[in-house]
Copies of this chain bind each other. A is one copy, B any other.
């Protein structure tokens, strides 16, 4: 995956409310309505957040009868982390190389 698709994931993860939703989902799959009972925001707001999270693949909708439960995809977070780590290491490598050139080694 390219960094172009990486940025929206970070944008999605850059919101406290979404993390509280993810934290709640960490205790088991839940629907927007169920989450709304535990969080201080309305169901519609949560539904929007879930849509954002689903869009970037951090969360996955699962139909159960008439309700739609959401599941956290921790593997996606780890995959994103792996890409970020690669970027960080690459930058370290390049700057180290530049530093060496600057020092005339």
A: residues with CB less than 8 A from B are: 3, 7-8, 10-16, 19, 22, 26-28, 71-72, 74-85, 87-95, 98
Q: How far is the CA of A84 from the CA of B31 in the complex (A)?
A: 24
Q: How far is the CA of A3 from the CA of B23 in the complex (A)?
A: 11
Does B77 contact A85, Cβ atoms closer than 8 Å?
Answer: yes
**Known contacts A10-B13, A15-B11, A16-B7; A85 and B82 CB within 8 A of each other:** yes
Cβ contact of A14, chosen from B11, B93, B94, cutoff 8 A: B11
Q: How far is the CA of A73 from the CA of B67 in the complex (A)?
A: 45
Does B91 contact A84, Cβ atoms closer than 8 Å?
Answer: no
Q: Smallest CB–CB gap between A84 and chain B, Å?
A: 4
- Inter-chain contacts of A82 with B (CB < 8 A): 81, 85
Of A12, A95, A98, the most chain B CB neighbours within 10 A belong to A95
Does A7 contact B3, Cβ atoms closer than 8 Å?
Answer: no
